[in-house]
Amino acid sequence: MGESVLVFAPVPVLTVTVEQQVEAVELHLHPGGQGVWQARMISALGSPVTLCAALGGETGEALSKLIEDQGLTLRAVRRSGESGWYVHDRRQGQRREIAAAPGAPLARHDLDELHNLALAEGLKSAVAVLSGPADPSVVAADVYRRLAMDLAGNGVRVVADLSGTYLDAVAGAGVAVLKVSHEELLDHGRAASASLEDLVEAGRRLKGEGAEVVLVSRAEEPALAFFDDRVMLVRVPPLQVVEHRGAGDSMSAGVAAVLARGGTIEEAIRTGAAAGALNVTRHGLGTGRAEAIAELIPRVELEPLRS
């Protein structure tokens, strides 16, 4: 298996962003979606990574080239429907959506081919990351359940960064790490409130369903880590926020990269927290210099939560 990581990103999207720096208007085209951002950060941390996706239509052709231009290894199913996309305007300092399309739902044949491709690549890998779709209409949650169970059942460590029905689908599949935000726990009714007490209770219930480790990110508040019958507060150094989106994805990526090279869960959590903290200082999602992350890691504190 080596130290490689599979990122299962079934439906990436083409992102088109309009920005303005001083007087110049800029247009940026990038591959997007949770899995792409995670794969980019894993690669930045030095781990070999393969992105597994379904791509279709003109948008899919553009995505294929843009993903490979990122230096990522792409294994793709050529799907029957068009891939998704969005156009955002950030010229006023905030993100405004101009237009978007999630893409066509994956057809049965596409799903069969994608599962088999991801299974084959995952069995070659030390760690598999399961990332969620931008829109739940394009891929069924049961695809994640099957893949998580097939990989975990054959000795692959699975890191799942999911929410809603996708989280429900893999919670009992024997994943190594289950990462979720506190907003997602609230939205899906898994936490009664955003209070520390209720989030701890929700995290413990999730761990009781079968995950080895549960990570709950809490925006600007310290994340919660549940492992080895302990609950830890994950405190990161203060940094100025440029773009808060993508911090949780970078956290999952850092965890996966460390586990793939045989690191401890404490090292994985510190690295993931440092990667997430650095990501908020940049405009690009899932980006960050490895040497800067390395300097932040010793500044991440794991503090036992007192009952």
- Using the predicted structure, report yes or no on whether residue 285 has a pLDDT greater than 50: no
Task: Tell me how many degrees the CA angle 60-283-247 measures, rounded to the nearest 5.
Answer: 85
158 strand-pairing partners: 128
- Is the distance from CB of 8 to CB of 117 less than 8 angstroms? no
Q: Based on DSSP, count helices (H) and strands (E) in the chain, helices before strands.
A: 10, 14
Query: DSSP secondary structure string, 82-130?
Result: PEEEEEEE-TTSS-EEEEEEEEPPPPHHHHHHHHHHHHHHHHTSSEEEE
> What sign has the CA pseudo-torsion 266, 269, 272, 277?
negative
DSSP states of 196-246? HHHHHHHHHHHHHTT-SEEEEEETTEEEEEEETTEEEEEE------S--TT
Q: Contact 75/64 with Cβ under 8 angstroms?
A: no
What's at 134, amino acid-wise?
A
Question: What does the longest C-alpha to C-alpha distance in the chain come to?
Answer: 55
State yes or no: pLDDT of 51 exceeds 80.
Answer: yes
pLDDT of residue 139: 94
State residue 38's pLDDT score.
94
Interacting residues of 171 by C-beta distance below 8 A, sequence separation 6+: 178, 206, 209, 210, 211
Is the model's pLDDT at 92 over the cut of 90? no
Name the 3-class secondary structure at 141: helix
Q: List pLDDT tens digits, range 149-165.
A: 999 999 999 999 999 99
Report whether pLDDT(50) > 70.
Answer: yes
What residues form DSSP beta bridges with 20? 25
The pLDDT value given to residue 78: 95
Residue with tokens 């932040």: 296
- Give the pLDDT of residue 286: 44
- Domain spans of the chain, in order of start: 40-56+108-304
Q: How many CB atoms are closer than 10 A to CB 298?
A: 10
Categorise residue 265: left if φ over 0, alpha if ψ from -120 to 50, beta otherwise: alpha
Higher pLDDT: 65 or 221? It is: 65
Mention every residue, 6+ apart, whose C-beta is less than 8 A from residue 293.
44, 45, 254, 271, 274, 275, 278
Q: What average pLDDT score do residues 166-174 get?
A: 95
Rounded Cα gap, residues 150 and 136, in angstroms:
22
| For the chain, percent of residues with pLDDT exceeding 70 | 93
Q: How confident is the model at residue 241 (pLDDT cuts 50, 70, 90)?
A: low
pTM as predicted = 0.91
CA distances from 151 to 115, 125, 127, 154, 157 (A): 11, 10, 9, 5, 8
| Residue predicted with more confidence, 1 or 234 | 234
- Its CATH architecture, for the domain 40-56+108-304, is 3-Layer(aba) Sandwich (3.40)
3-state secondary structure of 278: helix
Span 212-228, pLDDT tens digits:
999 999 888 899 999 99
- Residue 192 sits at φ, ψ, to 5 deg, of -75, -30
In the predicted structure, residue 192 carries a pLDDT above the cut 60: yes
pLDDT tens for residues 129-145? 999 998 999 999 999 99
Tokens read off for 187: 């939205």
Which segment, 4-18, 78-92, 269-283, 292-306, is predicted with the most confidence on average?
Answer: 4-18
